[in-house]
Amino acid sequence: MLDVLLWILAVTIIDGLVALVGGVSLFLKEKTLGKVIMILVAFSAGAMLSGGFFHLLAESLESISAMLAFEYLMVGFIAFFLIEKFLHWHHCHEGRCDEHEFTRLVLFGDAVHNAIDGLVIAASFLVSIPFGIVTSLLIIGHEIPQELGDFGVLIYGGLKKSRALLYLLLVQLTAVIGGVVGFLLADVEGLTSFLLPFTAGGFFYIAASDLIPELHKETNLKKSMVSFAFFVIGVLFMLWVKMAVGG
Protein backbone atom coordinates (compact mmCIF):
# COMPACT_ATOMS: atom_id res chain seq x y z
CA MET A 1 0.00 0.00 0.00
CA LEU A 2 3.00 2.29 0.39
CA ASP A 3 3.40 2.55 -3.38
CA VAL A 4 -0.25 3.58 -3.67
CA LEU A 5 0.21 6.31 -1.08
CA LEU A 6 3.31 7.60 -2.90
CA TRP A 7 1.36 7.74 -6.17
CA ILE A 8 -1.46 9.63 -4.46
CA LEU A 9 0.97 12.14 -2.94
CA ALA A 10 2.84 12.67 -6.22
CA VAL A 11 -0.27 13.17 -8.34
CA THR A 12 -2.06 15.46 -5.87
CA ILE A 13 1.06 17.64 -5.59
CA ILE A 14 1.19 17.90 -9.39
CA ASP A 15 -2.52 18.71 -9.35
CA GLY A 16 -1.78 21.45 -6.81
CA LEU A 17 0.86 23.01 -9.04
CA VAL A 18 -1.78 23.48 -11.74
CA ALA A 19 -2.72 26.66 -9.84
CA LEU A 20 0.43 28.23 -11.28
CA VAL A 21 -1.16 28.21 -14.72
CA GLY A 22 -2.56 31.64 -13.84
CA GLY A 23 1.01 32.87 -13.75
CA VAL A 24 0.97 33.33 -17.51
CA SER A 25 -0.95 36.53 -16.87
CA LEU A 26 1.98 37.94 -14.91
CA PHE A 27 3.61 38.62 -18.25
CA LEU A 28 0.64 40.62 -19.52
CA LYS A 29 0.32 44.37 -19.27
CA GLU A 30 -2.29 45.71 -16.87
CA LYS A 31 -4.32 47.13 -19.74
CA THR A 32 -4.28 43.83 -21.60
CA LEU A 33 -5.13 41.88 -18.45
CA GLY A 34 -8.04 44.20 -17.73
CA LYS A 35 -9.54 43.38 -21.13
CA VAL A 36 -9.69 39.67 -20.42
CA ILE A 37 -10.75 39.74 -16.77
CA MET A 38 -14.49 39.88 -17.51
CA ILE A 39 -14.05 37.10 -20.04
CA LEU A 40 -12.47 34.94 -17.35
CA VAL A 41 -15.22 35.86 -14.88
CA ALA A 42 -17.86 34.89 -17.45
CA PHE A 43 -16.07 31.65 -18.32
CA SER A 44 -15.69 30.78 -14.65
CA ALA A 45 -19.38 31.44 -13.95
CA GLY A 46 -20.40 29.12 -16.77
CA ALA A 47 -17.84 26.49 -15.81
CA MET A 48 -18.96 26.54 -12.16
CA LEU A 49 -22.61 26.03 -13.05
CA SER A 50 -21.85 23.37 -15.63
CA GLY A 51 -19.29 21.64 -13.43
CA GLY A 52 -21.73 21.62 -10.53
CA PHE A 53 -24.50 20.10 -12.65
CA PHE A 54 -22.70 17.74 -15.01
CA HIS A 55 -19.76 16.69 -12.84
CA LEU A 56 -20.36 17.01 -9.10
CA LEU A 57 -24.13 16.53 -8.97
CA ALA A 58 -24.25 13.97 -11.78
CA GLU A 59 -21.51 11.90 -10.16
CA SER A 60 -23.25 11.99 -6.79
CA LEU A 61 -26.42 10.60 -8.38
CA GLU A 62 -24.50 7.44 -9.21
CA SER A 63 -24.17 6.55 -5.54
CA ILE A 64 -27.11 8.20 -3.74
CA SER A 65 -30.75 8.98 -4.47
CA ALA A 66 -31.71 12.13 -6.32
CA MET A 67 -33.64 13.46 -3.33
CA LEU A 68 -30.68 12.99 -0.99
CA ALA A 69 -28.32 14.59 -3.49
CA PHE A 70 -30.61 17.62 -3.80
CA GLU A 71 -30.82 17.88 -0.03
CA TYR A 72 -27.02 17.89 0.27
CA LEU A 73 -26.86 20.43 -2.57
CA MET A 74 -29.25 22.71 -0.72
CA VAL A 75 -27.18 22.35 2.45
CA GLY A 76 -24.16 23.51 0.47
CA PHE A 77 -26.04 26.44 -1.06
CA ILE A 78 -27.33 27.55 2.34
CA ALA A 79 -23.92 27.10 3.96
CA PHE A 80 -22.30 29.43 1.44
CA PHE A 81 -25.14 31.92 1.92
CA LEU A 82 -24.58 31.90 5.67
CA ILE A 83 -20.86 32.43 5.20
CA GLU A 84 -21.58 35.63 3.29
CA LYS A 85 -24.44 36.74 5.52
CA PHE A 86 -22.92 36.35 8.93
CA LEU A 87 -19.23 36.82 8.23
CA HIS A 88 -19.89 39.78 5.91
CA TRP A 89 -17.91 38.30 3.08
CA HIS A 90 -19.70 40.08 0.28
CA HIS A 91 -21.09 43.55 0.79
CA CYS A 92 -19.05 46.58 1.80
CA HIS A 93 -21.53 48.95 3.38
CA GLU A 94 -19.07 51.60 4.42
CA GLY A 95 -16.16 53.10 2.55
CA ARG A 96 -14.41 51.53 -0.43
CA CYS A 97 -13.55 47.86 -0.52
CA ASP A 98 -10.16 47.15 -2.01
CA GLU A 99 -11.08 43.50 -2.24
CA HIS A 100 -14.51 42.13 -3.06
CA GLU A 101 -15.42 39.61 -0.40
CA PHE A 102 -16.64 37.01 -2.88
CA THR A 103 -12.97 36.24 -3.51
CA ARG A 104 -12.96 34.40 -0.18
CA LEU A 105 -15.96 32.35 -1.23
CA VAL A 106 -14.25 31.41 -4.47
CA LEU A 107 -11.17 30.29 -2.55
CA PHE A 108 -13.26 28.38 -0.01
CA GLY A 109 -15.27 26.66 -2.73
CA ASP A 110 -12.11 25.84 -4.66
CA ALA A 111 -10.53 24.39 -1.51
CA VAL A 112 -13.48 22.05 -0.94
CA HIS A 113 -13.54 21.10 -4.61
CA ASN A 114 -9.81 20.35 -4.64
CA ALA A 115 -10.11 18.28 -1.48
CA ILE A 116 -12.80 16.26 -3.24
CA ASP A 117 -10.48 15.85 -6.21
CA GLY A 118 -7.92 14.45 -3.79
CA LEU A 119 -10.51 12.01 -2.42
CA VAL A 120 -11.41 10.91 -5.95
CA ILE A 121 -7.75 10.48 -6.87
CA ALA A 122 -7.13 8.40 -3.75
CA ALA A 123 -10.16 6.23 -4.46
CA SER A 124 -9.08 5.63 -8.05
CA PHE A 125 -5.57 4.56 -7.02
CA LEU A 126 -7.07 2.21 -4.45
CA VAL A 127 -8.81 0.49 -7.37
CA SER A 128 -5.57 0.19 -9.36
CA ILE A 129 -2.54 2.31 -10.20
CA PRO A 130 -3.30 2.48 -13.96
CA PHE A 131 -6.88 3.55 -13.24
CA GLY A 132 -5.57 6.13 -10.79
CA ILE A 133 -3.20 7.59 -13.36
CA VAL A 134 -5.92 7.95 -15.99
CA THR A 135 -8.35 9.48 -13.50
CA SER A 136 -5.69 11.91 -12.28
CA LEU A 137 -4.89 13.09 -15.81
CA LEU A 138 -8.58 13.80 -16.41
CA ILE A 139 -8.86 15.72 -13.14
CA ILE A 140 -5.72 17.77 -13.88
CA GLY A 141 -7.01 18.56 -17.36
CA HIS A 142 -10.27 19.70 -15.83
CA GLU A 143 -8.47 21.96 -13.35
CA ILE A 144 -6.52 24.03 -15.90
CA PRO A 145 -9.44 26.09 -17.30
CA GLN A 146 -10.99 26.41 -13.85
CA GLU A 147 -7.78 27.79 -12.34
CA LEU A 148 -7.48 30.31 -15.16
CA GLY A 149 -11.05 31.39 -14.52
CA ASP A 150 -10.57 31.57 -10.76
CA PHE A 151 -7.43 33.64 -11.23
CA GLY A 152 -9.38 36.12 -13.31
CA VAL A 153 -12.14 36.27 -10.69
CA LEU A 154 -9.65 37.00 -7.90
CA ILE A 155 -7.98 39.75 -9.93
CA TYR A 156 -11.38 41.24 -10.67
CA GLY A 157 -12.16 41.06 -6.96
CA GLY A 158 -9.20 43.31 -6.16
CA LEU A 159 -6.35 40.94 -5.36
CA LYS A 160 -2.90 41.62 -6.69
CA LYS A 161 -1.69 39.08 -9.23
CA SER A 162 1.07 37.72 -6.98
CA ARG A 163 -1.29 37.33 -4.01
CA ALA A 164 -3.99 35.70 -6.15
CA LEU A 165 -1.44 33.22 -7.48
CA LEU A 166 -0.19 32.41 -3.97
CA TYR A 167 -3.70 31.92 -2.60
CA LEU A 168 -4.69 29.67 -5.49
CA LEU A 169 -1.55 27.60 -5.02
CA LEU A 170 -2.25 27.12 -1.31
CA VAL A 171 -5.91 26.33 -1.95
CA GLN A 172 -5.08 23.95 -4.78
CA LEU A 173 -2.78 21.97 -2.49
CA THR A 174 -5.79 20.95 -0.42
CA ALA A 175 -5.96 18.18 -3.00
CA VAL A 176 -2.99 16.65 -1.17
CA ILE A 177 -4.95 16.71 2.09
CA GLY A 178 -7.94 15.17 0.35
CA GLY A 179 -5.73 12.48 -1.13
CA VAL A 180 -4.22 11.53 2.22
CA VAL A 181 -7.63 11.59 3.95
CA GLY A 182 -9.08 9.47 1.16
CA PHE A 183 -6.28 6.95 1.58
CA LEU A 184 -6.67 6.78 5.35
CA LEU A 185 -10.48 6.71 5.30
CA ALA A 186 -10.86 4.42 2.33
CA ASP A 187 -13.43 2.29 4.12
CA VAL A 188 -15.67 5.15 5.27
CA GLU A 189 -18.79 5.16 3.13
CA GLY A 190 -20.81 8.23 2.25
CA LEU A 191 -18.11 10.90 2.65
CA THR A 192 -17.60 11.64 -1.04
CA SER A 193 -21.33 11.17 -1.70
CA PHE A 194 -22.02 14.09 0.65
CA LEU A 195 -19.19 16.37 -0.43
CA LEU A 196 -19.94 16.19 -4.16
CA PRO A 197 -23.47 17.71 -4.08
CA PHE A 198 -22.51 19.96 -1.15
CA THR A 199 -19.76 21.53 -3.24
CA ALA A 200 -22.11 21.74 -6.23
CA GLY A 201 -24.46 23.82 -4.09
CA GLY A 202 -21.58 26.12 -3.19
CA PHE A 203 -20.62 26.51 -6.84
CA PHE A 204 -24.21 27.35 -7.76
CA TYR A 205 -24.33 30.01 -5.06
CA ILE A 206 -21.04 31.64 -6.11
CA ALA A 207 -21.98 31.67 -9.79
CA ALA A 208 -25.56 32.88 -9.32
CA SER A 209 -25.06 35.29 -6.41
CA ASP A 210 -21.63 36.77 -7.08
CA LEU A 211 -20.27 36.19 -10.58
CA ILE A 212 -23.30 36.54 -12.83
CA PRO A 213 -24.40 39.81 -11.14
CA GLU A 214 -20.95 41.20 -11.93
CA LEU A 215 -21.56 40.43 -15.61
CA HIS A 216 -24.83 42.35 -15.46
CA LYS A 217 -22.92 45.51 -14.52
CA GLU A 218 -21.52 45.76 -18.05
CA THR A 219 -23.69 48.19 -20.01
CA ASN A 220 -21.86 48.06 -23.34
CA LEU A 221 -23.85 45.73 -25.61
CA LYS A 222 -20.84 44.40 -27.51
CA LYS A 223 -18.87 43.65 -24.35
CA SER A 224 -21.96 42.10 -22.76
CA MET A 225 -22.41 39.77 -25.71
CA VAL A 226 -18.75 38.78 -25.56
CA SER A 227 -19.09 37.99 -21.85
CA PHE A 228 -22.25 35.99 -22.49
CA ALA A 229 -20.49 34.04 -25.23
CA PHE A 230 -17.69 33.06 -22.87
CA PHE A 231 -20.24 32.17 -20.20
CA VAL A 232 -21.78 29.72 -22.67
CA ILE A 233 -18.31 28.50 -23.66
CA GLY A 234 -17.63 27.75 -19.99
CA VAL A 235 -20.88 25.76 -19.75
CA LEU A 236 -20.22 23.84 -22.97
CA PHE A 237 -16.58 23.18 -22.16
CA MET A 238 -17.38 21.49 -18.87
CA LEU A 239 -20.14 19.50 -20.57
CA TRP A 240 -17.69 18.44 -23.28
CA VAL A 241 -15.19 17.33 -20.65
CA LYS A 242 -17.90 15.23 -19.01
CA MET A 243 -18.85 13.63 -22.32
CA ALA A 244 -15.23 13.09 -23.29
CA VAL A 245 -14.52 11.01 -20.19
CA GLY A 246 -17.49 8.82 -20.88
CA GLY A 247 -19.86 10.36 -18.34
Dump the DSSP string for 126-172.
HH-HHHHHHHHHHHHHHHHHHHHHHHHHHHHTT--HHHHHHHHHHHH
* Per-residue pLDDT, 10: 93
- 210 in a structural domain: yes
Distance between CA atoms of 144 and 19, rounded to whole angstroms?
8
The dihedrals phi and psi of 73, each to the nearest 5 degrees, come to -60, -45
- 33 in a structural domain: no
* Per-residue pLDDT, 96: 43
Which residues span the domain enclosing 118? 2-19+38-244
Distances 165 to 27, 169, 201 between C-alpha atoms, Å: 13, 6, 25
Is the model's pLDDT at 187 over the cut of 70?
A: no
- 24 in a structural domain: no
Binned at pLDDT 50, 70 and 90, residue 230 comes out as very high
Is the model's pLDDT at 246 over the cut of 60?
A: no
- 106 in a structural domain: yes
Is the model's pLDDT at 46 over the cut of 70?
A: yes
pTM for the whole structure: 0.67
- 30 in a structural domain: no
The dihedrals phi and psi of 62, each to the nearest 5 degrees, come to -80, -15
Structurally, the chain folds into a number of domains equal to: 1
Contact call for residues 182 and 122 (beta carbons, < 8 A):
yes
Helices (H), ranges, the chain: 2-17, 30-51, 58-60, 66-87, 102-127, 129-156, 161-172, 174-184, 191-205, 212-216, 221-244
* Per-residue pLDDT, 92: 45
Of 1-5, 26-30, 54-58, 74-78, give the range with the top mean pLDDT. 74-78
Return the closest-CA partner of residue 206 out of 34, 28, 51, 17.
Answer: 51
Return the closest-CA partner of residue 106 out of 205, 234, 206.
Answer: 206
Contact call for residues 4 and 127 (beta carbons, < 8 A):
no
How much of the chain exceeds pLDDT 70, in percent? 81
* Per-residue pLDDT, 66: 95
* Per-residue pLDDT, 74: 96
Q: What is the pLDDT of residues 64-103, one digit of tens each?
A: 999 999 999 999 899 878 876 765 544 444 444 455 666 7
